[in-house]
Structure 1
Amino acid sequence: MIDETTPQPADAAAASTTPVLMVDGLTIGIGSRKDLKSIVKGISLSLTPGRIQGLAGESGSGKTVTSLAMLGLLPSNAVVGGSIRLTEPERGDTELVGMSHRQLNEIRGRRIAMIFQDPSSSLHPQLTVGTQLTDHVKRHLRMSSKQARAHAIELLDRVRVPNPAEALTRYPHQFSGGQRQRIAIAIALACDPIVLLADEPTTALDVTVQAGILHLLRDLADERQLAVLLVTHDLGVMSAIADDIAVMRHGEVVESNVRREIFANPQHAYTRELLASLPGAAGFEESTK
C-alpha cells in the first residue's frame, strides 16, 4: 500500500459533477463472428472533471481493453457495442463507438490522452524528447516552432523533469524509468486534453518513484480539472489517489462506489478478496471508518 505521504483524493464537493466521458453498456468481443470471445460485458462508467476514477481488477478482467476502446485502439477483429460518449460544452456530445480512425485521430491526444504502463514502448527511441513534444503541439495546436519549444519546456518543468531545456535535446534511453514516465505524462498533457487515461502507469516503477508519479497525477487532476481513468490491478494505488473505484471481474463491473466506501464497506466477495490481499489492509479499513 502507498505510504502516508501520498496525497489523498480531493473533496468530492470541490469538483464538477457533470461527466465529460460516459461509458454506457459497453461490450467488447474479439474474434470472428462465429468464434467471438466476449471480453467486456455491458459495463458503465463515468469520468468527471477533477476526479480520478479507478478501474481495478486482476489480469484478464477487461480493464485495459476498456480503456483502449475509449480511443479506438482495439485490434481490427474487435466488435464493440454500447456507447462511449464525450461531452464538451463547446462541442456537445460526440459518440466514439463507430467513429472512423480519421475522426478518432482528431480526438486522440487533443481531447483524450493516454499514459501507458511502459514509457519505453510509448516513446520513440530514435527521436529526441523535444521532437516528440513539439511535433505533437505543432500538429494539434498549430504553434510555431518557437512557441512549441517554450510550451515543451514549461510542460517538462511542470512534471518535474530536471533541466527541461537540456532534456529536450536528449533521447528516451538517457533517462531513468521514472523520468521517462514523467516525459510520457508531459506528452499526454501537451495539447491540454480534458480526459486522461492512465493504464497501470506505475507498475514498472519502484515504490519511491511510484509515489512521485501518483503525487503528480493527483496534482494534475486537481489543477487542470482533468477527468482521469486510472487502470490498475493494485488497490493500494487506488487507496492513494482514486476518488471513485469500480472493481472489474470477468468483463463485468461487480462493484462501484466512492473510495472510502469500497475500502470500509466492500459489498462484493471479490472486492473483499482483493482488499484482503493488501498488506496492512485491516488497519487501513479501520482508518476509513
Structure 2
Amino acid sequence: MTSTALSIQNLTIAIGRPLVHGISLDLERGRVQGLAGESGSGKTLTSLAVLGLLPRKAQTSGSIRLGDEELLGMPRRALNRVRGNRIAMVFQDPSSSLHPQLTVGKQLTDHMRVHLGLKGKAAAARAVELLERVQVPRAAESLGRYPHQFSGGQRQRIAIACALACDPEVLLADEPTTALDVTVQAGILQLLRDLAVERELAVLLVTHDLGVMSAIADDVAVMKDGRIVERADRATLFADPQHEYTRTLLAALPGSRLASQNEGGTVGEDSVGEDTDD
C-alpha cells in the first residue's frame, strides 16, 4: 500500500502573467510520478515551486505539503532545512549542478555535515556507500577526484548520490537524462526506478520525452499551457490516451521509442564504468 509523501493542491504560479493554473498532484512513496509536457508547459516551474526556487517576483497560491508541513510560503531558513534533506533534486546537466572546483567527496560530505551532523571518517564511509550504490566505479578513489574527470553518465550518477546523501523522502528529477546518449540514459532511468522502490522514495520525473516516461513512470500527468490535461497510470495512458495533446505527443515518438515500452517497465543497463557520452 502506498502513502502520500508530497501533496500539491491547486497550485498557481504567476510571473508577470499566469503560468500554472491550479494544478494538483500527489507523490506516493515508492512510485515514480511522471510530469510530461513541452517546453513552456509549466512542468519545471512546478518542480521549482516545491523547493522554493522560483524567482522572487513569482506569485504563488495553493498548497504544497510535505507530510504535515506547508512548504508554500515557508520562511527561507526553515525551507533550507528541508532542501537536500527531506526533498532533493537532480537537474538536467550535472556539469552545472556539480561544483567544478570541489572534489566529489567534498560535495557529498557537505550535505551530510549540514543536515546529518556527520564528519570525518563516518561521512567519508557513507559517501563511498552512496557512490557504490549508484555504481560509480572505484568509489573510494573517486572521492578525491573532480567532476571533469568523469564521463557525463558518471557525473549524473554522482549528482544522484549527492541527492540521496541525507535519505530524502522526495526526489525531484528535472530532465535527468536529456544530456546523455541513449545507452547511458537507460542505465540512469533504471537506477532511478530501483532507488524509488528500494528506498520508498517518492519520485517526480519531469520530462518532455514520453519515451522516458514509458520506461519508468508508474503514473503520468500531462501538462499543457500550465494545466494538467490528462493523468493515468502508465499502461492506460500509453494504450488509450484520451486528450488530443497526449495523442500528439505520443505520435511524435519514433517507432523505436514506442517499442521500448514494456509491461514491467524495465530498461537496459548502461555499461557501468564505460560511459562514452563525453
State if a TM-score over 0.5 links the two structures. yes
Matched-pair contact (CA < 8 Å) for 1:155–1:190 = yes
Specify the SS of the correspondent of 2:247.
Answer: helix
Aligned residue for 1:166?
A: 141
Moved more, 16-25 or 230-239: 16-25
Distance 1:97 1:280, change over 3 A: same
Q: CA deviation at 1:138?
A: 1.3
Q: How does 1:44-63 map to 2 (within 5 A)?
A: 44-63=24-43
Q: CA deviation at 1:279?
A: 1.5
Distance 1:62 1:283, change over 3 A: closer
Matched-pair contact (CA < 8 Å) for 1:275–1:281 = no
Matched-pair contact (CA < 8 Å) for 1:263–1:285 = no
Specify the SS of the correspondent of 1:82.
Answer: strand
Distance 1:160 1:99, change over 3 A: same
CA distance in structure 2 between the partners assigned to 1:284 and 1:171 by the alignment: 38
Flag as ranges the 4+ runs of structure 1 deviating above 4 A: 281-288
Distance 1:206 1:242, change over 3 A: same
CA distance in structure 2 between the partners assigned to 1:180 and 1:284 by the alignment: 28
Q: What 5-or-longer segments of structure 1 have no aligned partner?
A: 1-15, 31-35, 88-92
1:192 pairs with 2:172: no
Residue deviations 1:7-39, cap 9 Å, x none?
Answer: xxxxxxxxx322110000000001xxxxx2111
Pairwise CA RMSD: 1.5
Specify the SS of the correspondent of 1:231.
Answer: strand
Aligned residue for 1:258?
A: 233
Equivalent of residue 129 in structure 2, options 154, 157, 160: 154
Aligned residue for 1:33?
A: none
Matched-pair contact (CA < 8 Å) for 1:129–1:169 = yes
Q: CA deviation at 1:280?
A: 2.0
Matched-pair contact (CA < 8 Å) for 1:123–1:172 = yes
Q: CA deviation at 1:118?
A: 0.3
Q: How does 1:49-88 map to 2 (within 5 A)?
A: 49-87=29-67
Identity %: 69
CA distance in structure 2 between the partners assigned to 1:280 and 1:46 by the alignment: 31
Q: What 5-or-longer segments of structure 2 have no aligned partner?
A: 264-278
